Amino acid sequence: MDHLSRLMVQSLADYLPVLEIFPDEQLMSISHSIVPWYADIVNYLVTEQMPNYWTKQEQFHFLTKAK
């Protein structure tokens, strides 16, 4: 048995209603339309290919950041 089951309740006023909503429940919501900044790095590590529409300068800049 745990100690919570042995607590003495003085009156029904001691009970608080159970709230089924949380005030900060939307705090950590993520929009699906925004691609994370690391998505290109993850895709490169998995496929070992960079997007073919990138210029040479963009590819160089990406490889520099990925290191």
**Residue 43 falls within a domain, yes or no?**
yes
pLDDT by 10s per residue, the chain, length 67 = 577 777 776 766 667 777 777 766 666 555 666 667 788 888 888 998 888 888 999 999 988 887 7
Residue 4 has a pLDDT of 74
Residue 27 has a pLDDT of 60
What is the number of domains present in the chain?
1
Residue 14 has a pLDDT of 62
**Residue 45 falls within a domain, yes or no?**
yes
**Residue 40 falls within a domain, yes or no?**
yes
Of the candidates 60, 18, 65, the one whose C-alpha atom is nearest the C-alpha of residue 39 is: 65
**Residue 49 falls within a domain, yes or no?**
yes
**Residue 52 falls within a domain, yes or no?**
yes
- Residue 30 burial by Cβ neighbours in a 10 Å radius (0-12, 13-18, 19+): exposed
Domain hosting 58: range is 34-67
